[in-house]
Amino acid sequence: MACRLLIHRCRFVCTKFATVLLLLGATLIAQGKPDEAWWLHASFTPSETAYESLPVTALNQSWVKIAVLGYASLPPDAKEDLNWMHRDGFHFQVDNYFKRKEVTDRELCGVFEDREGRKGRFLLVLEKPGSGAWKVAYLHSEIGEPGFSVLVKKPSGLFWGTCMQCEEFSRLRFERGAFHLDSAP
């Protein structure tokens, strides 16, 4: 009898718990929080003080730490998306895309933290002559979340974006000796 009572009580508690979970889900939707892709809320921790031979201050004088993004740094939620990301040409580092004579370039996505504790994300272009050291050729940074960004290679150019399957992509181009990032108006 006691055992039956216990089972009944357990069932009651479980049902209540499930109901609360369902209601919580419904409430979140009612409050306007739809299911979002992981890249919209992924956050990365700037933890490095240099990139290869370059101290972080050589990238930006006010920065103290960075992290360069890569497939290995993505959150566990990303697992089911990795196949199509590879297939569709998403990269966190691109080497020598612009194929200039005697100069190698490298494009990198990352996050930073500055001396005042502000964080954000960046697109960095490095370049070096044949056997020389890397130097900064272009840096675009956005103060805010130290979040996701990615490069995608398309026949129409190299694009940088802060999401995927979305509109927010800007074309990186090299013109008249300098790099430019063209954002949509």
Partner 1 sequence: MADIRPEPIREVHTHGTVLVHAPTASGAGSQSQRPPNIDALVGTIQTEFPQTHIRVTGRGRTVQRQAELMAERRLQNRHQFLHTYRPAHHITEMDHWVTHHPHASQDETVAAFVEIINRARQRGAVVSNHLSDHARDISIPHGDHRVRSQVRVRLRELGAHVLDEHDAVGGPHWHVDY
Q: Which residues bind partner 1 (CB under 8 A)?
A: 19, 23, 26, 28-30, 32-37, 39-40, 88, 142, 152, 154, 156, 159, 161, 163-169, 183-185
Beta carbon nearer to partner 1, 51 or 179: 179
Distance of closest approach, residue 30 Cβ to partner 1, in angstroms: 6
Smallest distance, partner 1 to C-beta of residue 21, A = 12
Given a contact cutoff of 8 angstroms between Cβ atoms, the answer to whether 164 and 120 are in contact is no
When the beta carbons of 124 and 164 are compared against partner 1, the nearer one is: 164
Taking phi first (over 0 means left), then psi (-120 to 50 degrees means alpha), and beta for anything else, what does residue 98 get?
Answer: alpha
What single string gives the DSSP state of each residue in 115-171? TTS-EEEEEEEEEEETTS--EEEEEEEEES--B--EEEEETTEEEEESSSSSS-EEE
Q: Residue 129 Cβ, how far from partner 1 at the closest point, in Å?
A: 28
Q: Could you give the 3-state DSSP secondary structure of residue 12? A: helix
Nearer to partner 1, 13 or 50 (CB): 13
Question: Minimum Å distance from CB 152 to partner 1?
Answer: 6
Q: Which is nearer to partner 1, 39 or 134 (CB)?
A: 39
